[in-house]
């Protein structure tokens, strides 16, 4: 039976909207680590930096549970628009920051805005792309656009902050946030509404609901959510302190630190985009195991003095970025199988929250260790242990829970 045009256009417009907001969300998330080497006004210690990240992540942990539940009741993409508006306002506030207290509070408000994106977006994508192969690829595409925004932010932040001041990147990305909001309200939202009204809702829901699997066993759920915690911790190991590692240990300039770390993110853009194809080749379970086994030595080498040259560090960051970013779409695709169709928002809210729990804990631990040992390199030793533990845990994911993906590929 030939599908009506709106049936296949509707998932596409959701993917485009999700990707656009993802680019904005991840770009603005990159501004803070990007400006840290330039942030001389407040004389921050490593612990101060870790505490700020942890406070932001605590806000995200709490609110993503709330916004995940709201995504099951209200329009997910309209929630994304509301989050973008909060990001716009806080970028303008951060541009006009007068004190560290203001800076701290405004970043917490920003955390409210960015808390909306992941549970609402992943819930929307999982509902319009319930078949696992397409779902993984859709999340990979959306993720790669977000990572590209992250890359652009790291490339531009060092240049803008070096020429102007650390405040000006917030002005630039605040203007971009306003542009994205206008594109959504004027172009994407009306088109989505027209497509939705053109669909036969009963047929649409039954077609998509027919592909839904039952909620999987408790062992599977526990393993996936544990991996989410460790994945968040490993990601934050790189994002929080790598620019400071590059300036303090590798001894590059702040601008060069942002440029080098941008290669980590750019490599991640490619990895996220290819994640669906990698999962197709290996299967979801094996893909996770292989990816974290590669991350273990690639992260560990950053700890050793002999590897702390510009060339070797850059190559290691490129490898780590590519592999680490492939893990997100694969794991979050599996998260959809931990909840019913109508409960995806709550499931993703919980998954993202516990991912950020790992991120918040590691932010504090990394900051304390870096100050205690006067060497931020220690974070990569801990990161390697986390990667190895994740690979070991992934071995115990029940094979029968991921075999259906392989059977459906093609």
Give the chain's domains with CATH numbers: 8-408 (1.20.1250.20)
Please give the pLDDT value at position 341: 55
Q: Could you identify the residue written with the tokens 């993906």?
A: 405
Question: Nearest Cα to 245, choosing from 103, 367, 386, 384?
Answer: 367
Question: Nearest Cα to 239, choosing from 362, 157, 118, 340?
Answer: 362
How high is the mean pLDDT in each 10-residue block of the chain (410 residues)? 52 87 90 81 78 86 88 87 95 89 92 90 79 74 85 83 86 94 91 69 45 58 89 88 88 85 88 82 85 95 92 95 89 72 73 83 84 86 94 84 41
Are residues 58 and 353 in contact, defined by beta-carbon separation less than 8 angstroms? no
Are residues 250 and 310 in contact, defined by beta-carbon separation less than 8 angstroms? yes
Reported pTM: 0.75
Query: Cα(first)–Cα(last) distance of the chain, in Å?
Result: 20
Residues 6+ apart with CB under 8 A from 97: 103, 106, 167
């Amino acid at each position: 039976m030939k599908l009506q045009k709106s049936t296949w256009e509707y998932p596409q417009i959701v993917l485009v909207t999700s990707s656009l907001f993802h680019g904005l969300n991840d770009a603005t998330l990159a501004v803070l680590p990007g400006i840290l080497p330039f942030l001389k006004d407040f004389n921050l210690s490593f612990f101060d930096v870790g505490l700020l990240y942890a406070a932001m992540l605590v806000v995200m942990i709490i609110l993503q549970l709330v916004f995940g539940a709201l995504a099951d009741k209200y329009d997910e993409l309209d929630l994304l628009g509301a989050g973008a508006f909060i990001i716009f306002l806080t970028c303008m506030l951060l541009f006009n920051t007068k004190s560290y207290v203001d800076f701290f509070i405004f970043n917490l408000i920003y955390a409210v805005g960015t808390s909306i994106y992941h549970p609402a977006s992943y819930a929307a994508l999982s509902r319009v792309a319930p078949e696992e192969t397409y779902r993984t690829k859709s999340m990979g595409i959306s993720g790669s656009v977000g990572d590209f925004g992250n890359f652009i932010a790291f490339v531009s932040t060092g240049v803008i902050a070096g020429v102007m001041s650390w405040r000006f990147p917030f002005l630039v990305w605040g203007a971009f946030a306003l542009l994205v909001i206008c594109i959504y309200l004027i172009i994407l939202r009306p088109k989505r509404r027209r497509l939705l009204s053109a669909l036969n809702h009963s047929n649409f829901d039954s077609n998509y609901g027919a592909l839904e699997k039952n909620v999987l066993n408790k062992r599977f759920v526990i393993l996936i959510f544990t991996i989410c915690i460790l994945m968040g911790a490993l990601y934050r190991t790189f994002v929080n302190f790598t620019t400071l590692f590059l300036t303090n240990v590798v001894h590059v300039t702040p601008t060069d630190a942002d440029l080098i770390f941008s290669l980590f993110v750019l490599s991640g853009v490619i990895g996220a985009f290819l994640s669906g194809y990698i999962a197709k080749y290996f299967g979801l379970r094996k893909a996770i195991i292989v990816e974290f086994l590669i991350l273990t030595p690639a992260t560990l080498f950053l700890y050793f003095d002999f590897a702390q040259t510009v060339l070797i560090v850059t190559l290691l960051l490129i490898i780590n970025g590519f592999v680490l970013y492939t893990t997100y779409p694969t794991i979050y695709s599996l998260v959809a199988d931990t909840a019913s169709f109508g409960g995806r928002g709550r499931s993703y809210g919980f998954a993202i929250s516990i991912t950020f729990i790992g991120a918040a804990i590691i932010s504090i631990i990394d900051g304390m260790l870096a100050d205690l040992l006067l060497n931020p390199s220690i974070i990569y030793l801990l990161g390697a242990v986390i990667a190895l533990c994740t690979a070991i845990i992934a071995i115990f994911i029940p094979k029968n829970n991921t075999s259906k993906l392989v059977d459906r590929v093609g």
